[in-house]
Amino acid sequence: MDQDDPAAAVDHGNLAKLERVGAGSDIAGEIYGLVGKSQFFAEFSREDISILSGYMEVYRAQPGEILIREGDQGDFMVLIVEGEVDILKKSRRAEQQHMTSAGPGMTLGEMSMIDGEPRFATCMASQPTTFAALTRDNMAKIILDHPGLGSKILVKMVTMLSLRLRQTSARLLRVMDEARQQV
């Protein structure tokens, strides 16, 4: 599915251009309410969420606004609290391809938050979306101030990245296997 370049929709896909709603601690209850539907937070206690949300900021994005832009230097991850976000990636011919969509409880942008590499894909709100952002600096503070919680978050990231890498590798091998059979 090709789309118009969403870069045209908003000047900058960074947090500063989006509406800041407040501190994460203001919506700790709502974040805790996501635990049931969130792969990421499945094993987090109410206290874990209460501490973590104190290190997060809450933003709102309108449909068409960009949370994360492919190629940007990113230093934060996103937890979707409400709404829906499209994940888009440019093809070699510079067309935007729709990869998948993400909803409440899902996390985006963990990779660049940790390793500082350019964003792999663009995340654009497809509905009015509320999300909590965790920056690399605040993640580092959590590791220092609350090492137990810091490790729990990192272990969860490793688990989720492992799952995605297994799925993506399996898909790649399948596609390559099919291509070989056609030759």
Question: Which residues contact a copy of itself (rule: CB under 8 A)?
Answer: 89, 91-92, 97, 110-112, 114-115, 117, 120, 143, 147-148, 150-151, 154-155, 157-159, 161-166, 168-169, 171-179
The CB-of-81 to a copy of itself minimum distance in angstroms stands at 23
Closest by CA to 68, choosing from 88, 40, 51, 42, is: 88
The CB-of-129 to a copy of itself minimum distance in angstroms stands at 23
What phi and psi, each to the nearest 5 degrees, are found at residue 166?
-60, -45
Residues whose CB falls within 8 Å of the CB of residue 40, separated by 6 or more in sequence, listed in order: 79, 105, 106, 107, 156, 160
For residue 66, give both structure tokens.
């960009």
The CB-of-144 to a copy of itself minimum distance in angstroms stands at 9
Q: Which is nearer to a copy of itself, 118 or 128 (CB)?
A: 118
Residue 37: other Cβ atoms inside 10 A: 12
Q: Which is nearer to a copy of itself, 81 or 133 (CB)?
A: 133
Q: Which is nearer to a copy of itself, 45 or 161 (CB)?
A: 161
Residue 131: other Cβ atoms inside 10 A: 29
Q: Which is nearer to a copy of itself, 18 or 149 (CB)?
A: 149
H helix or E strand, kind and range, residue 165: helix 147-182
The CB-of-149 to a copy of itself minimum distance in angstroms stands at 10
